[in-house]
Structure 1
């Protein structure tokens, strides 16, 4: 463990940038446990010292994958399941937990906000895959270090930093640029990216811009024999001469009204006046066009298409953080890092039934202010990490009905109570003890508080529960042990508790589900609690082989699930937007459990060849009612063989999902059974080939063929078929 200290110091002040100059930029893998990770304890440390499973996706791997989005980058690893309700989506699932039960962190700042919903989220798309330096996926409860929302795990997104000039050369500014243009056939994708790093000895700047244009997605042509034509887009709605018209699709494999556009911009400034301190200003902005909600646009009622429009309006995310790092051995710390940040997120839902001239628009704006304080101290064989975090959310919610012909507007029910606030605070301490070089003990504690205030508008909600003022506190802990055995064997175990406080979306959302029910507010929700266990056995031959099997078991109490809801006046239906609905609501089920296992293999075969494989099985059930838990994917995984030489890198891979039958679906409707076949989600596999050829030092060409057999399939819980055969071509210029 003592070897981690140089890594910690280097990471704090960017010294790893100098060391990285001697590493090939296209090096794909670290085979073994010597790799350094950040997400486990908020500072860099050896992966071998961490008792919890962490999967790392590095820039070189993202570069070879050439993903359209960050969600696709995670999907292509085979270690994270991803759900999509529309093409412009991507909701990661970790060990049976999804959406607001997974914490997204970008450059050390939490992305999760007060309106992250429990269903499916596409917010991870707002981080550009082309500017990522690495992604770390921490599986299992992470509340001790990260607080609320980290029930299922943490996805830490780390973007590139400016590269400073080598102080020993004194040769002026260091200039680095990376540029690409990419075209893909399945969605006629057109992507352009450029980034420029300018670095002097003490000051550096990094500017990155990525723009993408995705046409309607084409599904595979090769249908399942038992369900021919499943997922075909037979007809869609167009507005012609001021009227809605149903148009036959001239190519049923093109999923009409699924395309969208996206823009992402990043600007970083780095100032390092001395070896002891560093200042980083980090500004990010992303936006989209309207993103069609494909599953809704293909929803039928009484044999006819129901909606003429159903779009997510432009999702805009503004992010700005300042990070101060200082290193000097003192009585209280060897290192301190302070990260204040602000974020503003705008999103909306725009829907108009077929034949109507009025569109319902629900618009949300969330403003978030946060601050993180992290400290590190080494005392002999003991490492202490401790700190504090605070975040405050304010939500503005607008509901309006707009006549698209006359422009007249009137108020309608807002999705959330307007002017609501949601605040979290926490203090934590994490400790590692190297009892012997072969035995490492980890432990930690966190105390958290959460407060939510929401006032319902009596004009739209005829209820006696018009005000919600929730307060809660939670004390969480973990205990882990790593035991290094002879011949490269390693055994680790972890016990951890965690919590997730109901946010504004849980407590007060009003939303019509695909199954025809209406989710209504329930201000009486309590926090979810989890007791998480994990055990892993692995063997490592450094640089040659790493194989691991991990088992996990989670027990949830007061788990929040959607269930039929009876109002205080005894009614089970309500009128919403002039329609009568059966009401459901988020409620606290008494108890649920999730368990499963995963296996991973990474092996160097010959001088230029390596192999990788992974598989994950998960099972979840609400024990109180003895029904399946939602968000539990079927078995999934990946296998790949990679060839890498000085100029050429090639990878052949297979991605696969098992089958999930109707009896294993949750009755909540969250898993979108109505969007799949009558027997549930069918199993599938795709075969893929990716290559990179370095033409010159600066120029490279990448090509790939994904879903080679052109299989038509729809992943579990998704509302759109995945891409059919996709050929892409990328040209890169890097200097």
Structure 2
């Protein structure tokens, strides 16, 4: 017996020595499902005194470890594994990792453009995945953000949606699609509707950075960054071709929405093709039955027999005119020739019909409706985005990404006064070209860097004319922007992530951005005292923060700077900002700079209760604000036949925003939970004389409470959304002048009332392939209007959706 045991022991030793000699000390890490090699796996011993990173082929030499030493393999997308060196060598030098959905939910990309564990990031990130998007049934990408409960969205018309984040909005927030900035040279300080061009059916996930993001994204990322990541093709990973897809249909009663969507994927071993098509048609929106009569639509203008007539609205709950339609197309092509290279082409196109601007159609002059027509022409957006990624474990990078994109934006404004036959038209087109080169490099298990270069070029085409709607005669008129104006941005950035220990991560970054603007002004219609404007300016931005994870806590803090350089809209715009005022160009503008701080705490109590709290503060210096101005010494000029007060964008103010964000989630069991969020923003603008006034883009206090039940086939959510009021004294001066948007208080002054609505939504899995969604929003049919919005919110709204996956 003893002899037999000795023989077995000697045989085991010989086998071990033979296998070690055969395979050596180099091992390979693979995905257990598809057998693909996994690069950038963090490999280390118990005290992290030894370690390394798997290369582009998933390989690493483990000769530095002893045979009985425990080695941990950790990757942001996989469950960690700990094995001894002997166990690994006996298993043919291969370590298999398993993807974890729980781990994946913690991954964020937007902060560095590369995958990071959310627990390591010192900024607050709102993450919305594809399941949440499908469950919320948003009609547009603006609705997607609003339904998250953490982003406030203003609407001037049904075909729009302008997010507000921590007291900032419009051109102080940056929109990114698949890593490409959507902001262009004519993004304005007024409400921006471009986010609706992104198809919610084609979004895989969304990440919103609350607070500045200029280190990675440059100009405009003052208040936050909204990153939309569209769906990617899936490959088969074997020789068999895989065809999959989905078809969806949806109806909503409040605006009689009729939406159809289809997408299909062809997956080969190395190639993937994804096509997506969505069409939506919206009728005029019905408001709620119970509420303030000031929001009713008692009459509207219609053209009958060649003459404008005021028509009594038979149903004043129906907001004439708000309906529009939209189509979205997308094509993605992906090539993965090996474990090192990946190529991705994304083509996106969106177009709306004419979109009535409802808030302007509500305006009266001399007790009569002012406009016969006011609508945006078709809003069109095209993006072609070609991205190349390469993995390589070398001195300079572990991963590199080269992104080249072309975008084309088209929009127009069309307005005609009541009983006038002249339609005033301005048309804008922007060609945007961008290139970025982004690197990721891990030096050891504790230190990782991200760095890169970026170039952006915009050219603006602008035209203005008057069209006689009876004779179709066209005459020249002022354009909104100087035609042919260019805007360029060149930048370099670097960011460092230092994981001092498993519970403490420090992250810092620095960016230099240089901006060039060149414009020529046409003095045919306005006697400008200048014929050109050029900008040649630069800005450094930086940030530093930490994330600390003591037992069941996460404590984060971050300070940083951001900036926004003037664009063509700031420098060269001519338009009527409001009745009786006209904005004129101002070539003497400098960038505005933001200085921000953020502190956050998250706490898990037991295994089922989570609390979070964030405090934030931002100072915006040399803020670009619209103020009274003079043109050649004149404070009033005639514009569109009306004597108007002259205004211009100026570096005239300091802006202060601050506030708090709260949230909690409580799980009662595996099926039921309650969540709640509350945002308390504040903001002021300091005038030239030192006085302070309320800031226009600071939303009221807003929040939500959700009670959620979920089992294997059903998910049900009953919830409330609420806003606090904003009194007349707390309305910004520019909002006080828009009394037609607001309710009236006891003193006859405009104000924004508080409101609370109750809604319910559900998703039922009929079969593995068929899902039914049903929602009833605003159950009590309350009539209310969101702060600063020109359109009244939907009344009771039944939403039915059917989705089939094949």
Give the TM-score normalised by the residue count of structure 2.
Answer: 0.86
Q: CA RMSD in A?
A: 2.3
Which residue of 376, 384, 390 maps to 2:440?
376
Give distance in 1, aligned partners of 2:272 and 2:755. Answer: 47
Which residue of 542, 550, 562 maps to 1:485?
550
Q: How big is the shift at 1:662?
A: 1.3
Give distance in 1, aligned partners of 2:54 and 2:422. Answer: 59
The structure-2 alpha-carbon separation of the partners of 1:208 and 1:541, relative to structure 1 and needing over 3 Å to count, comes to: farther
Give distance in 2, aligned partners of 1:150 and 1:12. Answer: 36
Q: How big is the shift at 1:4?
A: 11
> 2:117 matched to 1:46?
yes
> 2:467 matched to 1:402?
yes
In the TM superposition, what are the counterparts of 1:423-438 in structure 2 within 5 Å? 423-438=488-503
In the TM superposition, what are the counterparts of 1:194-593 in structure 2 within 5 Å? 194-223=262-291, 228-380=292-444, 381-486=446-551, 488-540=552-604, 544-567=608-631, 569-593=632-656
Tell which deviates more after alignment, 593-602 or 261-270.
Answer: 593-602
Instruction: For residue 230 of structure 1, give the secondary structure of its aligned residue in structure 2.
Output: helix
1:187 aligned residue: 255
Give distance in 1, aligned partners of 2:227 and 2:55. Answer: 19
Q: How big is the shift at 1:626?
A: 1.2
Give distance in 2, aligned partners of 1:55 and 1:186. Answer: 28
> 2:231 matched to 1:138?
no
| Deviations 1:291-330, CA, capped at 9 Å, x for gaps | 0000111111001111111000000000001000000101
Instruction: For residue 783 of structure 2, give the secondary structure of its aligned residue in structure 1.
Output: coil
Instruction: For residue 660 of structure 1, give the secondary structure of its aligned residue in structure 2.
Output: coil
Give distance in 1, aligned partners of 2:390 and 2:39. Answer: 18
Give distance in 1, aligned partners of 2:285 and 2:105. Answer: 41
Instruction: For residue 72 of structure 1, give the secondary structure of its aligned residue in structure 2.
Output: helix
Give distance in 1, aligned partners of 2:330 and 2:41. Answer: 29
> 2:704 matched to 1:633?
no
| Deviations 1:504-545, CA, capped at 9 Å, x for gaps | 111111221334322222111211100010001111369744
Q: Is the 8 A contact 2:625 2:653 kept in 1?
A: no
Q: Is the 8 A contact 2:404 2:436 kept in 1?
A: yes
Give distance in 1, aligned partners of 2:40 and 2:316. Answer: 59
> 2:672 matched to 1:601?
no
1:99 aligned residue: 170
The structure-2 alpha-carbon separation of the partners of 1:336 and 1:132, relative to structure 1 and needing over 3 Å to count, comes to: same
Q: Is the 8 A contact 1:195 1:206 kept in 2?
A: yes
The structure, 1 or 2, with the larger RCO (C-alpha pairs under 8 Å, 6+ apart) is 1
Structure 2: which 5+ runs fail to align?
Answer: 1-37, 43-52, 59-74, 80-97, 746-750
Which residue of 138, 149, 155 maps to 1:67?
138
Give distance in 1, aligned partners of 2:532 and 2:317. Answer: 49
| Deviations 1:586-615, CA, capped at 9 Å, x for gaps | 111242211001012233221111222111
What is the number of residues matched between the two proteins?
717
Give distance in 2, aligned partners of 1:9 and 1:491. Answer: 31
Give distance in 2, aligned partners of 1:358 and 1:515. Answer: 18
Q: Is the 8 A contact 2:56 2:398 kept in 1?
A: no
Give distance in 2, aligned partners of 1:607 and 1:23. Answer: 22
The structure-2 alpha-carbon separation of the partners of 1:515 and 1:312, relative to structure 1 and needing over 3 Å to count, comes to: same
| Deviations 1:393-421, CA, capped at 9 Å, x for gaps | 00000000011111110110100001100
The structure-2 alpha-carbon separation of the partners of 1:12 and 1:538, relative to structure 1 and needing over 3 Å to count, comes to: farther
The structure-2 alpha-carbon separation of the partners of 1:11 and 1:687, relative to structure 1 and needing over 3 Å to count, comes to: farther
The structure-2 alpha-carbon separation of the partners of 1:733 and 1:126, relative to structure 1 and needing over 3 Å to count, comes to: same
Give distance in 2, aligned partners of 1:515 and 1:542. Answer: 58
1:162 aligned residue: 233
2:9 aligned residue: none
Give distance in 2, aligned partners of 1:96 and 1:345. Answer: 27
| Deviations 1:465-495, CA, capped at 9 Å, x for gaps | 2211011100111010111112x11211101
Instruction: For residue 566 of structure 2, give the secondary structure of its aligned residue in structure 1.
Output: coil
Give distance in 2, aligned partners of 1:153 and 1:298. Answer: 32
The structure-2 alpha-carbon separation of the partners of 1:6 and 1:682, relative to structure 1 and needing over 3 Å to count, comes to: farther
Give distance in 2, aligned partners of 1:466 and 1:572. Answer: 20
2:801 aligned residue: 730
Larger Rg: 2
| Deviations 1:1-31, CA, capped at 9 Å, x for gaps | xx99449999999x99999xx999xx9xx6x
Q: How big is the shift at 1:570?
A: 2.5
Which residue of 645, 653, 667 maps to 2:733?
667
Give distance in 2, aligned partners of 1:626 and 1:154. Answer: 27
Give distance in 2, aligned partners of 1:392 and 1:39. Answer: 22
Q: How big is the shift at 1:643?
A: 1.2
The structure-2 alpha-carbon separation of the partners of 1:681 and 1:50, relative to structure 1 and needing over 3 Å to count, comes to: same
Give distance in 1, aligned partners of 2:628 and 2:355. Answer: 30
1:58 aligned residue: 129
In the TM superposition, what are the counterparts of 1:71-82 in structure 2 within 5 Å? 71-82=142-153
Give distance in 2, aligned partners of 1:189 and 1:271. Answer: 37
Q: Is the 8 A contact 1:119 1:670 kept in 2?
A: no
Tell which deviates more after alignment, 588-597 or 300-309.
Answer: 588-597
Structure 1: which 5+ runs fail to align?
Answer: none
2:11 aligned residue: none
Instruction: For residue 668 of structure 1, give the secondary structure of its aligned residue in structure 2.
Output: helix
Give distance in 2, aligned partners of 1:234 and 1:378. Answer: 64
Give distance in 2, aligned partners of 1:351 and 1:85. Answer: 15
The structure-2 alpha-carbon separation of the partners of 1:450 and 1:542, relative to structure 1 and needing over 3 Å to count, comes to: farther
Q: Is the 8 A contact 1:76 1:655 kept in 2?
A: no
Tell which deviates more after alignment, 136-145 or 589-598.
Answer: 589-598
In the TM superposition, what are the counterparts of 1:649-688 in structure 2 within 5 Å? 649-669=715-735, 672-679=738-745, 680-688=751-759
The structure-2 alpha-carbon separation of the partners of 1:471 and 1:398, relative to structure 1 and needing over 3 Å to count, comes to: same
